[in-house]
Amino acid sequence: MQINNYETVFILNPVLSDIQVKDAVEKFKKVLKDGKAEITNEENWGLKTLAYPVQAKKSGYYTLLQFSAPTSLIRTFEVEFTRDENVLRFLTTVLDKYSLEYSEKRKKGAFKKSKETVA
């Protein structure tokens, strides 16, 4: 069984309440945990405007999940997204060593703009 590092970004319907958004995220995390995946990072980016309308919606709740999982789990995980009517879009990508390195730096805040920028 091969284990890879993955990153999934998904967009939830903007009409959901905060509790419904949290419940949806927990549901997807449970699918990963039940499949023996290890979640390494979770970021809730909040309500953002979409680049173009999706299902007549102009905004959505963005969430990022990074995890290590067996390759056989990904199909099951993505089927859950397609079955959930509150998911507008989702994308799962495999992370290579450079992506992992970048992700670690980003989590530590290496790319945040400091207030001491040179004018």
Domain count across the chain: 1
Q: What is the rounded distance in angstroms from the CA atom of residue 3 to the CA atom of residue 24? A: 25
Secondary structure of 4-45 in HEC code, one letter for each residue:
EEEEEEEEECCCCCHHHHHHHHHHHHHHHHHCCCEEEEEEEE
Give the CA dihedral 91, 59, 84, 43, nearest 10 degrees: 60
Q: Packing angle between helix 18-34 and helix 71-83, nearest 10 degrees?
A: 150
Whether residue 118 is contained in a domain is answered as: no
Which pLDDT does position 56 carry in this prediction? Answer: 93
Which pLDDT does position 116 carry in this prediction? Answer: 56
Whether residue 17 is contained in a domain is answered as: yes
Which pLDDT does position 113 carry in this prediction? Answer: 65
Q: What is the rounded distance in angstroms from the CA atom of residue 9 to the CA atom of residue 111? A: 20
In the predicted structure, residue 118 carries a pLDDT above the cut 90: no
Which pLDDT does position 97 carry in this prediction? Answer: 85
Sheet of strand 38-54: strand arrangement: 38-54, 57-70, 3-12, 87-94
Model confidence pLDDT, tens digit, residues 80-96: 999 999 999 999 999 98
How much of the chain, in percent, has pLDDT values that exceed 90?
77
In the predicted structure, residue 105 carries a pLDDT above the cut 90: no
Model confidence pLDDT, tens digit, residues 42-64: 999 999 999 999 999 999 999 99
Type of residue numbered 115: K
Whether residue 112 is contained in a domain is answered as: no
Whether residue 25 is contained in a domain is answered as: yes
Whether residue 53 is contained in a domain is answered as: yes
Whether residue 20 is contained in a domain is answered as: yes
pTM: 0.85
Whether residue 115 is contained in a domain is answered as: no
In the predicted structure, residue 100 carries a pLDDT above the cut 90: no
| Domain hosting residue 30, numbered range | 3-107
Type of residue numbered 79: V
CATH number, domain containing residue 54: 3.30.70.60
For residue 119, give the DSSP letter.
-
